[in-house]
Chain A
Amino acid sequence: MHRWGMVIDLDRCSGCQACMAACHAENNIAIIGPEESAMGRTIHWIELLPFIEGEYPHIKARLLPRPCMHCEHPACIKVCPVGATYANEEGIVGIVYSRCIGCRYCTTACPYTVRSFNWYKPQWPKEMEGSLNRDVSIRGKGVVEKCSFCHHRLLKARERAKAEKRELLSEDYIPACVQACPSNAMYFGDLNDPFSTVSILSRERRAFKLLEDLGTEPKVIYLSEGM
């Protein structure tokens, strides 16, 4: 059984936000215009978060791309009253959109604020409709959405492996953000395999997880900047 995880090396990351754009393209994320954005209704499954500390001129700033952490003990699942949020046996936390009632308990419970709410039915001009990704369903009004580790890519890769009559290799499957990352700061793979790149990197001295003390056990691991 695979346990999918991601490693983000902040020393390589340049803060370019290719991951954000790639995610939007891959997952049919709604276009939120200027007025709605001003109300804080933007949707990003992965977002570059700034942390700016200190006072001028002694400032330490950090930029941190944050996808869903796909926690081992996710807070979001416990609060969902209808069982719309679940974790599958490979550790990917998903949402059944048709079950979601839009109560947004999960958006509040998630300590990493990865979840977004669809305030409106997402709409695209008809000139663009055909260019949506056919592998990912479009969310309706009133449901919560978040990063799925591009789960549809896993399903596809598994189908392909099956058609080629072989086992699924962990190289067969990477999310869109990892694929796009120009400075090769993101790694993806199987945390159960002790020799996979992500496993090796997750044991590095620089490795840390966000809000580790909450005990959520994220499967997204960061490598800190500097030596």
Chain B
Amino acid sequence: MKFNRRDFLKMGGGAGAAIALGGGFWKWSQFPVAEKPNAPGVEKWTPTVCGQCTGGCGTLVRVIDGWAVNIAGNPLHPVNRGTLCPKGIAGLQGLYDPDRIRSPMKRIGKRGEGRFQPITWEEALHLVSESLKDLRQKGEAHHLVVLGGRYRGLMRSLWDRFLNSFGSPNYIDNQFRWEEPPVEGLFLTQGIHDLPTYDIENAQYILSFGSGLLESPWSPVQMLRGYGHFRRGRPGMRGRLVQIESRLSFTGIKADEWIPVQPGAEGILALGIAHMIIKEGLYHKEFISGQTFGFESWAGPDGREHLGFKEFVLSEYEPTVVSKRTGVPIDQLIRLAREFSSSQPSLAIGYRDRPFHQMAVAILNGLVGNIDVSGGVLIPRSIPYQSLPPFKEDAIAQRGNSQKRIDEGKGISVNHPYLFARNTLSGKPYKPKVLFLYYTNPLFSNPDPGLFSKALQEIPLVVSFSPYMDDSAQLSDLILPDHTPLERWQDDPVFLNNGFPVLGIRQPVIPPLYRTKATGDFLLALARSLGGQIQKAFPWNDFKEVMMVSLKGVFEAKRGDTFGLQFDEAWTRLLQRGGWSVPSYKNFEEFSKLLLDKGGWWDPVYDFGERDRVFRTPSRKFEFYSQGWKKARSSSSAEGKDSSFLPHWEESKEAGNEKEYPLHLHVFRTMSLTGGRNANQPWLQAMTGQHLFEKWKTWVEINPVTAKRMSISDGDWVWVESPRGKVRVKARLYKGAMPDVVNIPFGQGHASGGRWSKGLGQNPYRLIGDDLDPITGYPTHGTTRVKVYKA
């Protein structure tokens, strides 16, 4: 057929196309195509992917005379469609941070003294490679540990491959954030280890259980675009949002209703709502009987009778019990249950609370049947990368890989950074000898940072790949600075709220400013210098080559297309539904060129009803009774009670007694300094707490009535003390604080990091205990008590 989309567009004429182009078009009109991109003083807009958070937004960077002078959203990128969040715009200040690390550095003073000496990359490579060779010679290959943070894509495959060929089972993911989407909740109900996808654009009602929907979602722009649409994007229909949280956050302010509950008590409220939905018979009977497991009582293969969720929740979570624990009146509870089940489609969104509290929220979506439907919980398909060729492990590698993981690797997730730190201190099962820190800063961004600080002191060689002098790099022996995101190649697989897989391509917009090196390239060089089977496992020259090899799979998948306007999206979908695939490229060269010009590839289709993809539990159904967890657990211990596999409420042990520490502590995040990664950017520092006009510092929010009782006035400097430590912060009276809860924002209090972050404010994570949840191995949320007194 000699008919392509371009012809179709021409035929369709101006009017039709203009309507289809919609809101994105006028944002697009802001970017002229430069005729002569390299002439002096002429601007050029280069598409790339933002690296300020995990959102994966496409950006266009305006480059004039070799300087990046502005960042705007890429109108073709489906994650953000031409828009950006404040962090994305401030990416420019991350690139041009005057206090960036400018070359590899070697520690010369004592650990933590912060005295470093610049070295060459050859010397750096030699130092790392010699100590790694030494490990292998001594048969201690498994003493190499990589602690990795929040990033996506092929870099992760490269790390795994490197460790496998080297002989260490120790890649430890340190991605935990309480504000994350409820990952464990999704695993317990649907058997999937990933972020759940919430189709908020098409939902009518959102019940948010403490989720930072509007200030700290994992992909902010996408969530905010969805929010705009949820509110006003559908003529005649306005979505309703209810926020249940211990603080009046921005999400709470924008919500139609704010329901204050104590930190960590959201889970029991969810169970109370489930009780009312079942009691009033408001649940989706068809979905429950056809696609769920464990709702009614059931008999196991051994003939043993097991308790069903229905019976359990009806007997345990009476509204009176729930109301007493949460302080939410019974009539409100009933109203929420009725609203939630009658305003379809509705979504219950939680945060990364304790696993069974997450599950309590997740089963609300199951009760009303909103799994794998428009406006419900979706499971995106993964990007069809071509897998890297197989390689051989040598004898040393095989021996190393068969060793026990240093964090013991048990539980829902096999990654336990806290156990890693504790085991490093205790030396059981063994002490690591070399630690790589990639995109993680545990000395700042994990509760109880002191634990990690002590653990790092125990490791003979700590190598950090951070481009900035962060708190953990400060304590390292070697710093091998990565390029910042605007200077490097990277792939960014991500997905949309409506479940479409998207692959963004990050490309350098300017040459590296300093003597930095992409960590992927360094890893390839390291493999070469180690020789043998390790070298053979990495036959590529640089990371870009690895990326291009893997992208072949995307090209060959015969699905999707490179980014286009909203009109193209509809067209691709229409063809694909009919079994056609007419992408805008014919061969791989065209494909890779278009990828770079447009910013990436996507597959604008969501296939409903593929149950094997959506339910990966042992029963291949939505589980009210988590058999997946039972299976994972039964290998290690005896069979537990039925109720321990059903969504249930666990009262957490509190740190500090009520008499001495009368207040609860709630640590929250702001849009501008979400992860604390961006504290070196003054634009963001200047707007951290706009609801109180706070900036550049840490404050504590206290309810005015409570403050008056303690004779604390607005603006006083106070100590906030927990059993673990104390911080000096500015007291701010905030009506949105609960009388017995004080709130401190996260993001400030860096011990290093340059002129705009060092020594400003305090890190509230220093107050939080190391009371670890037995299932996740992470600290439990909302269990710390504090007292506040004048400084």
Contact = CB atoms under 8 A, between A and B. Distances in A.
A48 B23 CA distance: 24
Contacts, number: 189
B351 to A, nearest CB: 18
Interface string A159-175: 01000000000011010
A38 B730 CA distance: 12
Contact of A133 (B70, B80, B672, B695): B70
A61 B696 contact: no
Interface string B56-95: 0000000011111111110000001011111111101101
A44 B693 CA distance: 12
A25 B70 contact: yes
A225 B253 CA distance: 11
B231 A11 contact: yes
Nearest to B691: A50
A17 B90 CA distance: 12
Contacts of B92: 25, 131
Contact of A15 (B254, B685, B686): B254
A121 interface: no
Interface in B217-236: 220-221, 224-225, 227-229, 231-232
A127 B82 contact: no
A34 B683 contact: no
B32 interface: yes
A184 B228 contact: yes
B789 interface: no
Interface centre among A14, A32, A125 (most CB of B within 10 A): A14
Interface stretch (B181-189, B400-408, B548-556, B735-743): B735-743
B253 A63 contact: yes
Interface string B694-718: 0111000001010000000000000
B684 interface: yes
A42 B686 contact: yes
Interface stretch (A51-59, A79-87, A99-107): A51-59
A48 B695 CA distance: 13
B231 A180 contact: no
A21 B72 CA distance: 11
B85 A182 contact: yes
B70 A34 contact: no
Contacts of B685: 34
Contacts of B232: 9, 11-12
B683 A21 contact: yes
B258 interface: yes
Given A17-B671, A61-B253, A179 B72 contact: yes
A59 B735 contact: yes
B228 A14 contact: yes
B587 interface: no
Nearest to A132: B69
A41 B733 CA distance: 22
Contact of A26 (B70, B85, B260): B70
A128 interface: yes
A47 B86 CA distance: 13
A205 interface: no
Contact of B231 (A12, A34, A133, A134): A12
Interface string B82-120: 111111111011011110000000000000000000000
A20 B86 contact: yes
B637 interface: no
Interface centre among B25, B214, B253 (most CB of A within 10 A): B253
B675 to A, nearest CB: 15
Interface in A18-38: 18, 20-22, 24-26, 31-34, 37-38
A191 to B, nearest CB: 16
A116 to B, nearest CB: 12
Given A16-B671, A17-B687, A183 B227 contact: yes
A227 interface: yes
B221 A182 contact: yes
A91 B3 CA distance: 48
Contacts of A182: 80, 83-85, 220-221, 224-225, 228
B692 interface: yes
Contacts of B71: 25
Contact of B695 (A42, A171, A179, A180): A42
A114 to B, nearest CB: 15
B437 to A, nearest CB: 25
Contact of B69 (A21, A131, A225): A131
A73 interface: no
Contacts of B686: 24, 31-32, 37, 42, 44
Given A52-B735, A61-B253, A184-B225, A21 B760 contact: no
B345 to A, nearest CB: 20
A25 B260 CA distance: 37
A49 B253 CA distance: 13
A25 B683 contact: yes
B580 interface: no
B68 A131 contact: yes
A47 B27 CA distance: 22
Given A14-B214, A15-B254, A50 B690 contact: yes
A226 B697 CA distance: 34
A198 interface: no
Interface string A65-89: 0000000000000000000000000
A52 B736 contact: yes
Contact of A14 (B70, B250, B683): B250
A63 B250 CA distance: 8
A128 B98 contact: yes
B26 interface: yes
A9 B97 CA distance: 35
Interface in A120-166: 125-128, 130-134, 160
A154 to B, nearest CB: 12
Contacts of B618: none
Contacts of A56: 260, 703, 705, 735-739
A17 B231 CA distance: 18
B98 A127 contact: yes
Contacts of A52: 691, 734-736
29 contacts: A11-B231, A14-B228, A16-B85, A16-B224, A32-B686, A33-B696, A34-B696, A50-B692, A56-B735, A57-B258, A59-B248, A59-B736, A61-B252, A63-B253, A63-B254, A63-B690, A128-B93, A131-B69, A131-B95, A133-B70, A134-B69, A171-B29, A172-B29, A179-B27, A180-B83, A182-B221, A182-B224, A184-B23, A184-B228
Given A21-B683, A34-B696, 16 more contacts: A12-B228, A14-B214, A16-B671, A21-B672, A21-B684, A21-B687, A34-B695, A38-B696, A42-B686, A52-B691, A59-B258, A125-B98, A131-B67, A132-B69, A160-B32, A180-B73
User: Across chains A and B, which 7 residue pairs bring their CB atoms closest together, nearest first?
Assistant: A183-B228, A21-B86, A34-B696, A130-B67, A125-B98, A182-B224, A12-B228
